[in-house]
Each structure stands twice: as C-alpha cells, then as structure tokens.
Amino acid sequence: MIVMAAARQVRSSRDIMGVDNYVGAEWDAGNIPATVAYRRCRVTVRKDATDCWTVYAVAFKGSEKLAAWEIRSFPCETCAKAFGLCLVFGDGYAECSTHGQTGFHDGDTFAGRLAVLCCLMGIDKATYDSLSGGSTHRLAWVARLISDGQLTWQKVVRAIEVAEQFALQRGISLDGAISTFYAEAVKTKSLK
C-alpha cells in the first residue's frame, strides 16, 4: 500500500505577513534539479501589474544565463506558488489554500516541465517555436518521461551535457543536438 503525503497548503503573503505584495514582488519556488549547482533552472513567481501572478523559469550554467520562459499566469497568488512548488518538487507537493489543486492541471505541469527542460538546454521560446517537428516531439517526449517519473532531472542534465559536448565536437545543428540529447536521455532512462 502506497501512502501519499498530504499536499502542503500554500498561503498568501497577506495571510502570513498581513500585507499585500507590491507589483514586481518575486517569490522563489526553488531550483531544478535541486541537487545540481552548476546547471540549474530557477522557478519563480512574480506579481504583475495586472494583479496576476506569473510563474517563470530561468536557467543558468554557472553564472551564465541560458534561457528564460514565462510559463503560466494565475489570478490567484497561492495557486501560482503551489504550481511553482509542484514543478520543483513534483506533482501533489503543494496546493492553494483557497482552490486546492483545481487551479492547475496535469497539462499545465507538463507544459511547465517542457519549459524548464528547454531553459536547461538554453532554448528560449522563440527558438523553440522555430524548431523542427521532430525536435519538439523529442523534447515533449522527454518532458513526459520526467512527468511520469521515468527520468530524473539529474539524468536529464547529464544527457544535456553529453549532447552539448558532442555537438561542440561535431559542429552539428540544434536539431542534431536535440536528437543526440534525446538518444542519451532515453538511454539513461533504461539504466535505472
């Protein structure tokens, strides 16, 4: 019998500190992967001028910024924070104190993981939109393996690094590098 831990209840800044956040206030959900310091993606939540809360992914390799994506906006502060925590720590990790986990769904977390994966690879949204259908399919498939728990972020980062080295040595295109990454990621999946 599998016993699931209860989701952590996320409360608003007003509930915790008694004040509302200002426009531009940013809250850090954590890094993906949490155990890697060199190549990582920071997930944050920021209050926008429209009183919405937007979840962002920003990846770094050392101190170099690789890519940033705006993942999703929420009208509810605690839904946005719970979503960010679920991206970092896994599905069911957190929920909104007002809406539970009804403020987002599996498709949202999958899209968030795809954005994080692209950021870790240094692929911004405009570049992603210009990739071949095969490359976007490969990236989506790896995001699905991560979502299903068949592939860890640590193994993904290792596959990115192997593909990056191969691409540098061979001078191949981004689509070719994504094919190499995909092959390496799927190979490491079977090495549990």
Domain range enclosing 32: 1-123
Whole-model pTM? 0.88
Q: What pLDDT digit, counting tens, does each position of 100-112 carry? A: 777 788 888 999 9
Cα gap 79→10, rounded to integer Å? 8
- Are residues 100 and 137 located together in one domain of the fold? no
Q: State the pLDDT at residue 191.
A: 55
Domain count, the chain: 2
Cα gap 184→187, rounded to integer Å? 5
- Are residues 111 and 147 located together in one domain of the fold? no
- Are residues 93 and 49 located together in one domain of the fold? yes
Element (H, E) at 180: helix 174-189
Which residues of the chain, if any, have pLDDT below 70? Answer: 1-5, 13-19, 36, 189-192
- Are residues 90 and 40 located together in one domain of the fold? yes
- Are residues 77 and 21 located together in one domain of the fold? yes
- Are residues 47 and 114 located together in one domain of the fold? yes
- Are residues 77 and 10 located together in one domain of the fold? yes
